[in-house]
Amino acid sequence: MKWKKTKSTNGWHEIDWKKADLRVKDIQEKIVIAIMKNDLKEVYKQQWYMIKTFEPKALPIRRVVTNKGGKTDGVVKLIWNSPKD
C-alpha cells in the first residue's frame, strides 16, 4: 500500500475519522507482523509512519476532546466550543 500525503483539511469536522482509525490500525498491524517476522527494517519503517503521519497524531487529540476531559478548561482556562472559537 502506497502512502499518500494527507490532504490538509479546512476543519476538524472534515476529517474522515473512520478512515483515519483504519489507517492507524493498519500501521499497528504491520508493526506486529514485522516483529513476528523479525523484520526490523519494516518495524522501523512502520514506526516512522506512526510518528510522521497525521492520523496517529489526530486520533489521541480527538479522544481527549470527545470525552469529559474536553469540557474542562485545562491549563490555559479556555474552552473551545466550536471551530470559530
pTM (predicted TM-score)? 0.66
SS3 of 22-54: the string is HHHHHHHHHHHHHHHCCCHHHHHHHHHHHHHCC
Three cell numbers, residue 78: 479556555
Three cell numbers, residue 42: 519494516
What's the rounded Cα separation, in Å, for the pair 80 and 34?
41
User: Which phi-psi region, left, alpha or beta, contains residue 40 (left: φ > 0; alpha: ψ -120 to 50)?
Assistant: alpha
**How does pLDDT run across 24-44, given as a tens digit for each residue?**
999 999 999 999 999 999 999
**How does pLDDT run across 56-80, given as a tens digit for each residue?**
998 888 887 777 766 666 666 666 6
